[in-house]
Amino acid sequence: MPGTPATDAPPPGDVRAGTLELRGVTKRYGPTLAVDDLSLTVPAGKVCVLIGPSGCGKTTALRMINRLIEPTAGEILIDGTDVRRRPAARLRREIGYVIQQVGLLPHLTVAQNVATVPRLLGWAKARVGPRVDELLALVGLPPGDYARRYPAELSGGQQQRVGLARALAGDPPLMLMDEPFSAVDPITRERLQTDFLRLHRAVPKTVVFVSHDIDEAVKMADVIAVMRAGRLVQFAPPAELLADPADEFVADFVGADRALKGLALTRLEDLDLPPAPTVRRGEAGGDVRDRVASGTLVPIGGAVLATGDDGHPLRWVPVAAIGDRVEATPGRTEPLLSPVTTLRDALSALFEAGASHGVVVDGAGRAVAVADVATIGGGLAAPAEKAGDA
C-alpha cells in the first residue's frame, strides 16, 4: 500500500486477505425481496461499505456472506470458493464478525473472549496467549490492564475494541462489520474509526462494513455500495460517488454538502505539508539562529516548535525569545493531528481549538509536520486525484 510507513508494514506472509465476490445474490422473504440480484466484487484487502436507508437489505446482504442467512439464489465466493462448500460454523471461524451491540460473552474475561476463535480453530495454548496479548495491544487495550477484566467492566468503546480484537484473532481473510461504531458516542466513534483505519493499514483485511452514515462510509471505504430496496444502485469509490452520483436517490443520500464531504477523502499525509520547525530543548540558541538564517529551519509566525529529546512537541517558542539555549516547559501545542486524519477532521479540530495551524505527530508522538488552514483548504482539489488510486 503506497504511503504506508515501513514500520507499519506487516511481515510478508503474515496477513491474509481474500477476494469476495457476490453473484446474483437474492434473498426472498415470502413476496418481499430483501436483497435483489446483488452482484459485486471486493478486491483483497479493500474496505467495501454497504450503505443505504433502513430496510434496504444491507445487513441481510452482510449476513448471507457468513451464512447467518442463507440466500434464496445466487452465490457468494471467497477467493473463488463458494461459501456453501463448507459447514457454516467452520466457514464463520475464518470470517471476522463485528456487530453494533458487540455481543461479547459476558461470563468470559476479555482475554477469553478474544481467544474464542483461535480456540475453536484448535490452536495450541502456547500460541493463543501471545496472540491475545498482541491483539489487545493492537486495538489499544494494554493486556496487563484489560486481559482479566469482564466485559461489564468496560465502556462501550472499549467493548467494541475487544469485539474488533476478537474478530481479528483467528487472522481471517475477511471481516464483516455491521454498524460496528454506531452504538457509541460521536467522539468515541471518531476515534474508533481512525484507529480502525490505522489497524487496517497494518493488517489489510478484506472488509465488508455496513453503515447508514454517509460520512462514515466516505471516511472508511475504498469502495461504497449504495443499496435501495434490496438493489445495488451505485458501486463506486467515495470520490466518484460524491462527484458523480448515479441518480437522484444517491445524490439525496450523499447530501447537498458533498463538496465539503470530499474533504473527508483526503488525509493530511496526502498533502505536501511543511515539516515542523522543531528545535530540541537544550539546543544552543546560536545553532537555532544559524538554521533560521540558512533557511533549513522555517519559523511559523516567528516561532519554532520546541520538542523533548523524544521528539514530542512541548510548546511554540518565538525565535526572538531564545537565549543561549532553547528552554521549554510543556505547554499548549494543540491540536495534535495524525497523518491519517482526514482534512475534514483536521479542519474541524483547528476550528474547535481556535488555532490557525496544528502539529502533525507520527505514531510515536514525534512532531513531523505542520498543517494550517490554508494548506488544508488547498486540499479541496485533491479528491479527484484520490479517485484514481482508490
Partner 1 sequence: MPEIRWDWLQRHADDIQIMTVQHLEITGLSMALALAVALPVAVAVRNRRVPFAVAAGVADVLYTIPSLALFALLLPYTDIGRTPAVIGLAAYALSMIVRNTVVGLRGVPAVVRDAAVGQGLTPRQVLVRVELPLALPAIMTGVRLATVSTVGIATVAAFVGGGGLGELIWDKGIQREMFLTPILAGTVLTTALAIALDALLAGAQWLLTPWARRGRT
Contacting residues toward partner 1, per CB under 8 A: 66, 68, 89-94, 97, 99, 101-108, 116-117, 120, 149-155, 163, 166, 176
In the complex with partner 1, which residue's Cβ is closer, 108 or 303?
Answer: 108
Q: Report, in Å, the least distance between residue 153 CB and partner 1.
A: 5
Closest by CA position to 139, among listed 102, 105, 108, 86: 102
Task: Write out the three cell numbers for 24.
Answer: 446474483
38 and 23 Cβ atoms separated by less than 8 Å:
no
22 and 206 Cβ atoms separated by less than 8 Å:
no
DSSP E strand boundaries for the chain: 20-29, 32-42, 47-51, 73-78, 81-82, 95-99, 174-178, 206-211, 223-228, 231-236, 278-280, 303-307, 313-318, 336-337, 357-361, 367-372
Closest by CA position to 337, among listed 324, 353, 320: 353
In the complex with partner 1, which residue's Cβ is closer, 166 or 291?
Answer: 166
Q: Report, in Å, the least distance between residue 285 CB and partner 1.
A: 51
Q: Report, in Å, the least distance between residue 350 CB and partner 1.
A: 35
Mark residue 65 as left, alpha or beta (left: phi above 0; alpha: psi -120 to 50; beta: remaining).
Answer: alpha
Say how far apart CA 181 and CA 100 lie, in whole Å.
6
265 and 239 Cβ atoms separated by less than 8 Å:
yes
Q: What burial class does residue 14 get, using C-beta atoms within 10 Å of its C-beta: 0-12 exposed, 13-18 middle, 19+ buried?
A: exposed
Say how far apart CA 98 and CA 163 lie, in whole Å.
6
Say how far apart CA 371 and CA 360 lie, in whole Å.
7
Strand 223-228 relative to strand 231-236, pairing: antiparallel
Q: What burial class does residue 113 get, using C-beta atoms within 10 Å of its C-beta: 0-12 exposed, 13-18 middle, 19+ buried?
A: buried
In the complex with partner 1, which residue's Cβ is closer, 104 or 232?
Answer: 104
In the complex with partner 1, which residue's Cβ is closer, 106 or 301?
Answer: 106
